[in-house]
Amino acid sequence: METIKISPRGYCHGVVNAINTITNLDHLSMKLPVYILGMVIHNKQMVNSLESLGYITLHDPSITRLELLDQIESGTVIFTAHGVSPEVYKKAKQKGLSIIDTTCDDVFKSQNVIKEYLNKGYEIIYIGKHTHPESEAARGISNKIHIIEKMSELYNLQIENIDFGLP
């Protein structure tokens, strides 16, 4: 058997940036408690490490990040590298929460491309997992964004003036 080392390897740069940002925050200058909206990374050791520093991770894959915000009454909320929808940002501000946004630059770029094409009148087909936080953030930009996880879902799309050429 041949072992091939891939490079780069490890966490994506957005997650590395989020972890570095979070671990270097000055708790003394922050509104407490401090919540992380969703898992920074799907790594139990890292979550436990952040919780040992006083962070509270809110994670429930059965509800959206907008719904997770209902569990926060005051303090600071940290948005993970996955990004959040405009509604999540707005709701956090309305609740008077301090916001620390660690959204990955690549996620911002993707969201900006989505907005650019929406402004040109396009509807967007976004390929990703329905329940993934990045998909949720993208879907929250507009109701003209359609999340597709499986090819079979293309058959059920309701987009005017489009022919996918599917049998």
Give a three-class secondary structure readout of the chain: CCCCCCCCCCCCHHHHHHHHHHHCCCHHHCCCCEEEECCCCCCHHHHHHHHHCCEEEECCCCCCHHHHHHHCCCCEEEECCCCCCHHHHHHHHHCCCEEEECCCHHHHHHHHHHHHHHHCCCCEEEECCCCCHHHHHHHCCCCCEEEECCHHHHHHCCCCCCCCCCC
With vertex at residue 43, the alpha carbon angle to CA 127 and CA 106, rounded to the nearest 5 degrees, is 40
- The rounded distance, in Å, linking the Cα atoms of 10 and 25 is 23
pLDDT in tens, 79-123: 999 999 999 999 999 999 999 999 999 999 999 999 999 999 989
Q: Whole-prediction pTM value?
A: 0.84
- Quickly state the pLDDT bin for 9 (edges 50, 70, 90): low
Higher pLDDT, 161 or 51: 51
pLDDT of residue 19: 86
Domains of the chain with CATH codes:
13-104 (3.40.50.11270), 106-156 (no CATH)
Asked about 134 being catalytic, the answer comes back as: yes
Mean pLDDT over the full length of the chain:
87
Q: Kindly state the average pLDDT of the residues 128-142.
A: 93
pLDDT of residue 4: 56
Residue 129 has pLDDT above 80, yes or no: yes
* Candidate list 134, 136, 149, 153, residue with the active-site label: 134
